[in-house]
A and B are shown apart, each in its own frame.
Chain A
């Protein structure tokens, strides 16, 4: 039950993009087509879960025992940057088709604040390792859900006749606002 709650909360109620404003850059940047949205979601899920596990272990076995919690920001971002490189190298060697699908998105992920944000939130919420895995998986699903819905709407937006100033980013932001309103309907579920 506890894990069900983590999932519902992270996917719908506290959606990472629409309620917490993390990962907005890829949300606006790669949401012009559903297919790129799906690719980005795959890459983010993959890296987010691994990064959360690794940073969790770093926190528990390096930062806490040596009492150097103030190095959290700097060590987490280094771990994530190294991890993204590593994942890229391993994927290239082990699974070329997966690398083909996710490859272009991987370098972008280092500066995706959702990854670092989830890693820090996991520590702040004081979750255990299994909860951390559930939390990061659910957050990534929530990220994908918002991104893919948004990409679907944006594909339709190309066909709409808009005033000149509203074209592109402004109308995309308005749509995101309405989407966020819809997601607010889930508030109170957990």
Chain B
């Protein structure tokens, strides 16, 4: 597989959210606005890139039997880094993402890439894989966030498009997350077949 396709497969062909259905909790939980979706996506991308790099660096010195706990420790360290950095520099975003920041640890995408890709490939490929998968995830979250924000409150990235009282509030609330994602995946399934 050439380097370019390692990077681009995360966007469409193997997009974590739309085709592999991984990392659903943050996908549904934080996408009440486009900014939140983007912030969560980028935080996950950072963790994904760093953990992929470190895992591929240490893959030969980790015994096979304890590799999963070892990966989890590596991932958790980077999540803690993100958590503390966000708390210091982006307190508003940290507040609105809340519980979902520490929960990046248990996002199946991160552990999945460490196990399926980084533990078998060299550092540069792992970096590309992490960046591609992470940005694909960020793209999906931003899309869903933008759709929900637009339908729910008439805004997109906090930019007013139509007055808020005409918005369908349900799309900002919990049920709207499921419904919007359901239709989004249906549209993408349709596009893929065509």
Q: Which A residues are closer than 8 A to B by beta carbons?
A: 18-25, 28, 70-74, 77-78, 81-82, 110-113, 116-117, 120-121, 124, 164-166, 169-174, 176-178, 180-181, 184
A-B contact pairs, 13 of them (CB 8 A): A25-B108, A111-B108, A112-B106, A164-B190, A164-B193, A170-B182, A170-B186, A173-B179, A177-B175, A178-B175, A180-B174, A181-B170, A184-B174
- Nearest B residue to A29 via CB reads B21
Q: Are B103 and A113 in contact (CB under 8 A)?
A: yes
Q: Are B175 and A74 in contact (CB under 8 A)?
A: no
Q: Are B80 and A74 in contact (CB under 8 A)?
A: yes
Q: Are A111 and B106 in contact (CB under 8 A)?
A: yes
Q: Are B182 and A24 in contact (CB under 8 A)?
A: no
Q: Which 8 residue pairs across A and B have the least CB separation, nearest first?
A: A173-B182, A177-B178, A21-B29, A177-B179, A170-B186, A74-B76, A180-B175, A24-B24
- Nearest B residue to A169 via CB reads B185
Task: Give the distance to chain B from A182, nearest Cβ to Cβ, in Å.
Answer: 9
Q: Which B residues are closer than 8 A to A by beta carbons?
A: 21-22, 24-26, 28-29, 68-69, 72-73, 76-77, 79-80, 83-84, 99, 102-103, 105-108, 111, 170, 173-179, 181-183, 185-187, 189-190, 193
Q: Cα distance A73–B25 when bound, in Å?
A: 17
- Known contacts A77-B106, A178-B175, A184-B175; is-contact A20 B69 (Cβ 8 Å): no
Q: Are B182 and A171 in contact (CB under 8 A)?
A: yes
Q: Cα distance A166–B10 when bound, in Å?
A: 23
Q: Cα distance A18–B96 when bound, in Å?
A: 18
Q: Are A28 and B84 in contact (CB under 8 A)?
A: no
Residues of A within 8 A of B185 (CB): 169-170, 173
Q: Are A70 and B105 in contact (CB under 8 A)?
A: no
Q: Are B79 and A73 in contact (CB under 8 A)?
A: yes
Total CB contacts across the A-B interface at under 8 A: 121
Residues of A within 8 A of B108 (CB): 25, 111
Give 20 A-B pairs besides A18-B175, A169-B182, A174-B183 with Cβ atoms closer than 8 angstroms: A21-B25, A21-B177, A23-B25, A24-B28, A25-B24, A73-B80, A74-B79, A78-B73, A78-B76, A111-B106, A164-B190, A165-B187, A165-B193, A171-B182, A172-B182, A174-B178, A177-B175, A177-B176, A181-B170, A184-B175
Q: Are A117 and B103 in contact (CB under 8 A)?
A: yes
Residues of B within 8 A of A178 (CB): 175, 179
Q: Cα distance A20–B26 when bound, in Å?
A: 10
Q: Are B106 and A181 in contact (CB under 8 A)?
A: no
Task: Give the distance to chain B from A127, nearest Cβ to Cβ, in Å.
Answer: 15
Residues of A within 8 A of B182 (CB): 169-174, 176-177
- Known contacts A21-B29, A165-B190, A173-B185; is-contact A113 B176 (Cβ 8 Å): no
Q: Are B174 and A73 in contact (CB under 8 A)?
A: no
Q: Are B186 and A73 in contact (CB under 8 A)?
A: no
Q: Cα distance A110–B139 when bound, in Å?
A: 27
Contact with A19, one of B21, B99, B105, B174 (Cβ below 8 angstroms): B174
Contact with A116, one of B80, B103, B174 (Cβ below 8 angstroms): B103
Residues of B within 8 A of A169 (CB): 21, 182, 185
- Nearest B residue to A21 via CB reads B29
Q: Cα distance A124–B69 when bound, in Å?
A: 26
Task: Give the distance to chain A from B56, nearest Cβ to Cβ, in Å.
Answer: 21
Contact with B21, one of A28, A165, A184 (Cβ below 8 angstroms): A28
